[in-house]
């Protein structure tokens, strides 16, 4: 597991470089993509990325300048903005990650539905465990 985590971190750095950004910006862009149609505010993004609102402003500014996101007015509160992914940027990221996800899908085809259920359970529970432990370490 340590090898997978370390390799993921190295891969995140490599993918970010290929997309012309740093790993923190790519992580935040990933959170924006994960949110889908439920556009995040800067505060939402700061909470998910565990950075200050000041830091997230810099991240969003860089992503916007690079053409990855736009700011859109919040329909329920005009003083607030929501962050939306730009489709051309989504296409660039998808083109880079697509072959990797295709290989993962191919690998999952080697498992039975019951085994996939166990893997899904493990990743879901481990993700929660990691998040909870990170909060504990941070003392929040």
pLDDT in tens, 32-59: 999 999 999 999 999 999 899 999 999 9
Structure tokens at 51: 């950075």
What separation in angstroms does the CA of 119 have from each of 18, 103, 115, 124? 30, 16, 6, 8
Total length of the chain: 140
53, 130 Cβ separation under 8 angstroms: no
Q: Mean pLDDT throughout 93-101?
A: 95
| Residue 115 clears pLDDT 90, i.e. is over it | yes
Using alpha carbons, select from 23, 138, 39, 33 the residue that is nearest to residue 94: 33
Distances in Å between the alpha carbon of 110 and those of 4, 101, 107, 115, 116? 19, 15, 6, 10, 10
- For residue range 76-94, what is the model confidence (pLDDT) as tens digits? 888 889 999 999 999 999 9
Residue 109: is its pLDDT beyond 80?
Answer: yes
> What local confidence, expressed as pLDDT, does residue 140 receive?
65
Over the chain, what is the mean pLDDT?
Answer: 94
């Amino acid at each position: 597991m340590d090898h997978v985590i370390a390799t993921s971190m190295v891969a995140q750095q490599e993918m970010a470089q290929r997309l012309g950004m740093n790993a923190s910006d790519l992580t935040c862009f990933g959170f924006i993509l994960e949110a889908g149609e439920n556009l995040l505010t800067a505060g939402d993004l700061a909470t998910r990325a565990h950075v200050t609102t000041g830091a997230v402003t810099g991240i969003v500014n860089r992503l916007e300048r690079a053409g990855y996101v736009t700011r859109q007015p919040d329909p329920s509160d005009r003083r607030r903005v929501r962050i939306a992914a730009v489709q051309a940027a989504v296409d660039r990221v998808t083109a880079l990650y697509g072959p990797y996800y295709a290989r993962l899908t191919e690998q999952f085809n080697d498992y039975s539905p019951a085994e996939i259920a166990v893997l899904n359970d493990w990743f879901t529970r481990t993700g929660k465990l990691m998040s909870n432990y990170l909060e504990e370490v941070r003392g929040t």
